[in-house]
Structure 1
Amino acid sequence: MTPSPSIRSAFTPTGTLRAAINLGNPILAHQGADGGARGVSVDLAAEFARLLGVDLELVVVDAAGKSVDVVASGAADVGFFAIDPVRGANIAFSAAYVLIEGCYLVKDASPIRANEEVDRAGNRVVVGKGSAYDLYLTRTLQHAQIVRAPTSPAVVDTFLASGADVAAGVKQQLEADARRSSGLRLLDGRFMVIQQAMGTPKSRGERAAAFLAQFVERMKAGGFVADALARHGVEGASVAPAAG
């Protein structure tokens, strides 16, 4: 892959690649010991900047919705998101590079034993505002009420403080929260598989979107994504299959 001057300009209107990094999804990014962002998405952003031959600037946020906003507005040039039709109004997505499980968590004493029991009248389900789970469950839950925490990492704390019935989110985040707060359990199975992709503002043009999609396929096929998952000790996520 060799970017043309027009492709480079499309991704770097400021002369630098600005990549939105969401620390609210621990599978893709986290804060390192030095305070900087680390993770699979950071590695992909750095590799894309290297390919373009430009410097990288990280636009670090703490929630998926904020990441969507900065890319959709053009304040960042690329970002890392769960594919969703609502977000697709202003963002052009690549195919998925990683697949992540979405799960439910309840209190030990809860009568809810299975995923299909969540969507019942009277149940309150806590999600991270603007997250893939928020968007998906807003479309699919017919009876349960959605309660929105400010960020995905705050879901379990909000769940406990509000006395809600269910917490929904990334399986690994919920597992970590269950370990630090006694009396909690995950329901078996998953309620959705999240397709994590790279995205760029649609205003950058179809050729830029196609170049980004080609980059993601190359990163999957060449083992870059698998190596990054292993390097950062990520469990419970898998490399997405090739597009098509």
Structure 2
Amino acid sequence: MALFTLAPVLALAPRGDGHSVLVLPGFATNDHSTGLLRMFLAQRGYDARSWDLGWNLDHKTVGEQGEIIVRRIAALWKESGRKVSLVGWSLGGVIAREAARRMPGKVRNVITLGSPFAGDPSANAIRGLYEYLSGNIIDSPATRERFANGRQTLPMPSTAVFSRTDGIAAWQNCIGEENAISENIEVVSSHFGLVVNPAVLHLVADRLAQPENAWRRFVRPRALAFLYPERHSEG
């Protein structure tokens, strides 16, 4: 209902410059879950792409070192001749950040939506399901190391979108260190609502519209301030 009520808000979102945006789905979901987000981005002028890897089962899907998703990004970069932006929901954002670290020359911007890339990896509501389907053990040294490094800033602009009402991932694990090109922005949403929430859609379009070499931190539009909690949105 909120999506239709706030449709005029989405019409005010900045238009893009046509560069490729790869959208990565969350754990145990596939490209169908991000369909509305990709459709919106395409309408705003982006070359919005699905990841085309089926169900997201973490390393079972993207490769032990993420090599499969790295090849996907490299192919988009070669096809367009331009850096690729990454938008990842939940586990998709964790994978996006890891891939971006491996290929900084090919990634323009990283946006994560409720992605627990930092802190305690066991602080989520689906630990058992994750271990069963992915084959990864949360308390293993490899997993602990993976998430211990996750909070560190990326070499390209990044935006971590989080919600205190997420319900699946602990919001404290969905934020990272901030600097001149890294920011954390709070929205009010459930975990599964992050890919259809009007505030999130507008925010993603705004962040992707930042010029490649003149990125600026998010400032709540005065007319849309009601969509974003004041804390953690501009600091």
- Shorter chain as denominator, the TM-score bin is 0.3 to 0.5
Provide the TM-score with structure 2 as the length reference.
Answer: 0.36
Provide the TM-score with structure 1 as the length reference.
Answer: 0.35
The structure whose Rg is larger is 1
Q: Which has the higher strand share?
A: 1
Structure with more contact order per residue of length (Cα contacts < 8 Å, sep ≥ 6): 1
